Amino acid sequence: MLPAVARARIRRSSVLLPLMRRFVLKGVMGVTTPWGVYIDDEVDWESERGRRLIRHELEHVAQFNRYGTLRFMYLYAREYLRNRRAGMMHQQAYYNISYEAEAREAARELTV
């Protein structure tokens, strides 16, 4: 049985992402959860930015599938907390999580 995220669909979000921008991470336009990928309503999926954002989120789907949902969430949170303990501020700690770097690289390499 594949993890739930393997069957993830990409959905529009007009609620989740504004809440995340306000309370979790400034500027975030997409998020991958164990139950699906959400892309902000403002993003044009056909634009280069939209395609790279979706590629970024699909890399997170691959990470969920590689490690399993709970293990991936644990590894991701552990890296964030390590970064915080190393003295990084919230945004920097998030940015330096290796899984985020991997997703950024996948998005950068996308040919659009």
Q: Does 103 contact Zn ion by CB under 5 A?
A: yes
**Least Å from the CB of residue 60 to Zn ion:** 6
**Least Å from the CB of residue 101 to Zn ion:** 9
Q: How large is the greatest C-alpha to C-alpha distance in the chain, in angstroms?
A: 40
Helix (H, G, I), strand (E, B) or coil at 67: helix
Candidates 12-20, 35-43, 74-82, 101-109: pick the segment binding Zn ion (CB under 5 A): 101-109
Q: Is the CB of residue 83 less than 8 Å from the CB of residue 92? A: yes
Which residues make up the interface to Zn ion (CB under 5 A)?
100, 103
